[in-house]
Amino acid sequence: MQRLWLSGYRDYELGIFDPKAPEVVVIKRALRERLVAWLNQVDEEAWLLSGPQPGIERWGLEVGQELKADYPTLKLGMVAPFAQVEANWKPERQAALAQFKPQVDYFGTVSDQPYQNPSQLRAYQDFMFAHADRVLLVFDPERDSLGERHAKSYYDYRRAQQTPDLPLSLVTFDDLQEVAEEVAEEERDRQAGW
């Protein structure tokens, strides 16, 4: 069994507030390319592990759901850091999570308690690193800061750098720009009737 932990920016950290935004198409395509490359190297059961957060985690699981038709050994695991992770989310985000949960092969929480303190987030990170064979982060180390604070994925990136026996792959903003240019070129060709 091979397990890939996928994480990265939350949607608001990217300034994406519409799940149908063109940027989401680009991100999903970049994730699809990376996931297909990984799956083509795996000749056994493969688990795509991620969290419930809107943004890279959820988009990645959505791509994984689409890939299951071509990769029947692919399983999806959604792991939340604590119980009722969505308790303070807007109703539409809560509904989207409730609708997606039944589509994954496994849903669980690291802590059975609702959020109490940051130690639950550290325990989540420990759990994910302990249960992954490789890590795929959508994260750009050159542009990691959100003003005065770091994006959540910064801490996963830093931890991955301190775990040299766990392969880490990054999707950076430059990678996303390349995919965006490919998508734009294909759209121009389509409109030109090619």
**Domain range list for the chain:** 2-191
Question: For tokens 């949960």, what's the residue?
Answer: 101
pLDDT tens digit string along 84-124?
Answer: 999 999 999 999 999 999 999 999 999 999 999 999 999 99
The residue among 12 and 192 whose pLDDT is bigger is 12
Count Cβ atoms below 10 Å from residue 9 Cβ, excluding itself. 26
pTM for this prediction: 0.93
Neighbours of 24 (CB within 10 A): 17
Low-confidence winner among 25-34, 171-180, 184-193 (lowest mean pLDDT): 184-193
Is the pLDDT at 145 greater than 70? The verdict is: no
Give me the architecture of the 2-191 domain, per CATH.
Answer: 3-Layer(aba) Sandwich (3.40)
Average pLDDT, the chain: 94
Portion of the chain with pLDDT greater than 70, in percent: 98
